[in-house]
Structures are given as C-alpha cells and as structure tokens.
Amino acid sequence: MSRSLVVKVTCGAEDAERSNQGFTVAASAVAAGAPVSLWLTGEAAWLAVPGRAELFDLPHATPLADLIGLVIDTGQVTVCSQCAVRRGLTEADLLKGVRIAGAAVFAEEILAPDAQAVVY
C-alpha cells in the first residue's frame, strides 16, 4: 500500500465518539500497512500527554492508549504547534515519539501525491 493517510482529530473527551473514530481509523490504516500521520489539534492535543489517553473512556471501544501507541510505534503523531502553545505544552510534555509541528507541515503532508486526508 503506497497511499498515505493523514488523519486530523480536532476533539478530545468532550466529543469522545468522534475523537475515538479518528484514532481508530488511524490505527486501522497502520495495521493495514498504510503510512499514517495522525494530527492532534484543539482538545485532542491533551491526548498526547502521558496518562491522558488512559483516562479516556468510551464503552465498547479499543482503549485510546492502545490506538495512539500503535500509531506512534509505526506512523507519525503530531500535535499542532498553535494548539500546544495555547495549552502550555512542549515536546517534553508529550509521549515519547510525538512531535509538535505547524500548519505548513500539515499542508505539505496533505498535498503530497497519493495522500488522503480525513478530519474528525
């Protein structure tokens, strides 16, 4: 599979089903062998802080910590730079392997040939 998938999750626990759907799609694509870049923006940025994904609870859903762990291990997880600044987060505050980057990097990823972007 050569087509890459860029998933942007714009919400956290305040919209648990939508948030979890984005993580599930990203992890499923990774498991299928696709190159995946998962972007966490808005309240989703908090889910890249150690311990926060473990607090996320959605009945009948794969634990969020498992989903983000899979994407970190085999894909790329990014927290939006503006979202991080607004929340006082630095890369030192995030899970190992999670980066902070801005809109220019996001635009580059979604405009790449054979890239597919989805937003949750």
Asked if residue 53 lies in contact with residue 12, where contact means CB atoms within 8 angstroms, the answer is: no
Q: What confidence tier does 2 reach under pLDDT thresholds 50, 70, 90?
A: confident
Q: What confidence tier does 31 reach under pLDDT thresholds 50, 70, 90?
A: very high
- The 10s digit of each residue's pLDDT in 32-42 is 999 999 999 99
Q: What percent of the chain has pLDDT over 90?
A: 98
Angle at CA of residue 114, ends 111 and 116, nearest 5° = 70
Q: Which CATH architecture has domain 4-119?
A: 3-Layer(aba) Sandwich (3.40)
Q: How confident is the model over 7-32, as a mean pLDDT?
A: 97
Q: What confidence tier does 1 reach under pLDDT thresholds 50, 70, 90?
A: low
- The 10s digit of each residue's pLDDT in 97-117 is 999 999 999 999 999 999 999
Asked if residue 53 lies in contact with residue 64, where contact means CB atoms within 8 angstroms, the answer is: yes
Q: How confident is the model over 45-58, as a mean pLDDT?
A: 97
Q: How confident is the model over 72-98, as a mean pLDDT?
A: 98
Sorted by where each begins, the domain ranges of the chain are 4-119
- Please tell me the pTM assigned to this model: 0.96
